[in-house]
Amino acid sequence: MGHTATASAEPGGLTATEHTLANGLRVVLSEDHLTPVAAVCLWYDVGSRHEVKGRTGLAHLFEHLMFQGSKQVSGNGHFELVQGAGGSLNGTTSFERTNYFETMPAHQLELALWLEADRMGSLLAALDDESMENQRDVVKNERRQRYDNVPYGTAFEKLTALSYPEGHPYHHTPIGSMADLDAATLEDARAFFRTYYAPNNAVLSVVGDIDPERTLAWIEKYFGSIPSHDGKLPPRDGSLPDVIGEQVREVVTEEVPSRALMAAYRLPHDGTRACDAADLALTVLGGGESSRLHNRLVRRDQSAVGAGFGLLRLAGAPSLGWLDVKTSAGVEIPEIEAAVDEELARFAADGPTAEEMERAQAQLEREWLDRLGTVAGRADELCRYAVLFGDPQLALTAVDRVLSITAEEVQAIAQARLRPDNRAVLVYEPLAAESAASAESADTDASADSAEQSDEDTLKEEGPQQ
């Protein structure tokens, strides 16, 4: 075992040690003997940003294929063995990574490590046309259920495409398109696995009621013989100008329960002080029922039934500030948009109050501590900082960095980024509203010329139909 161990003790008593196997697998261990459980988290440095045109959705499809059996564990055996031992498990895919995780009774830790090593080392022995077709259908059905057939379901996909230009590695979302899912071949999947599912492209964290020496011995036993792979290309450059430079806009008329105004603002990359400042700004503006936008739109004006503003942190591209406002009955989008712009301009001019800063920092501190306070959450954060920033220890000091941000930094990021020329806007108009407008137009007693002019004005206001 190639071995570099670093221990870091934080004020809360959290520690982590780092180790590297000879094949390049990075290992992070964190002892926590409060409860007799252990979490295993494995991050592969591959997400939708690594995909190429025509093969979008392959990273997410492969996440599903990883649960279809390996050399020594057939079919649904991974789920059956973990759940039969009293554990829980899952996997997820994002723009920047794919992760797999189990939380086990501490005495079943070796089982989870063996299972993860078996599929890392031998998945290709079980990957065939039947499992490929099975999981292709599962992913397509997931797309229908979560994106295509639910109100506002394609909002994330549409706003992402508006926020990142064509050809940008973040232009498409991890779910992929139906056409690309259909086009993916078994050989595509095998090549994807060989390229990205190698130990030198992964970080394994184990957190909980563990014996570090025994755990490292198990990891060396099960993962140490898996060969590394050097064929991975770096992800395409995701850098963009700080500001979009204009407002990008799309109007969607669909069967949705109410009008909605959604917007994505281009914000600093994750891992920077500016990103932490942006997180605090969005928390003050739209983080919960004490936020400015909720107080203005929902409580005072009663023009919206919900108003939120949150941060999608991204390391390889500009992060996105995500605005989501659902209108009250009869309220038009221009009224909402004017109120939002007024609040953002006021915030940029005056900055947050001392009370707002204290509340926002406390809110983010609680969220961070909630994640670090569970063995599964801490394992995930250790992997995240190791994969995206090269240092898992940063997970243990993230709270301190948020608490060190000043009100002046928060105001500065609002002035620089929360502007109308730095956002992509998505407007949802219900089909019912369009039908009512058409009926009203048909019943009017106005002249044909007047009616024709009215229809033209309506189309200009609604914008292009999707």
Point out the residues that are catalytic.
63
> Are the C-beta atoms of 458 and 437 separated by less than 8 Å?
yes
Query: Minimal CA–CA distance to 163: which of 243, 237, 94?
Result: 243
* Residues pairing with 310 in the sheet: 322
Residue type, 433: A
Give the Cα separation of 177 and 136 in Å (integer): 12
Give the Cα separation of 349 and 323 in Å (integer): 20
- Measured CA angle at 82 (ends 144, 33), to 5 deg: 115
Query: Minimal CA–CA distance to 197: which of 24, 56, 316?
Result: 24
For 138, the token pair is 């599962």
For the chain, what's the residue count? 466
The H or E element containing residue 381 is helix 375-389
> Are the C-beta atoms of 203 and 28 separated by less than 8 Å?
yes
**Residue 345 burial by CB count (10 A; 0-12/13-18/19+): exposed, middle or buried?**
middle
> Are the C-beta atoms of 45 and 53 separated by less than 8 Å?
no
For 36, the token pair is 């007799």
Q: How many CB atoms lie within 10 A of CB 444?
A: 10
Query: Minimal CA–CA distance to 53: which of 172, 190, 174?
Result: 172
Residue type, 7: A
What is the strand order of the sheet 98-105 is part of?
17-20, 26-31, 202-208, 37-44, 98-105, 88-93
Residue type, 310: G
Give the Cα separation of 450 and 148 in Å (integer): 38
Ramachandran bin of 54, using left for φ above 0, alpha for ψ from -120 to 50, beta for the remaining angles: left
CA 208 to chain centre: 25
> Are the C-beta atoms of 310 and 335 separated by less than 8 Å?
no
For 117, the token pair is 């090593």
Give the Cα separation of 183 and 403 in Å (integer): 48
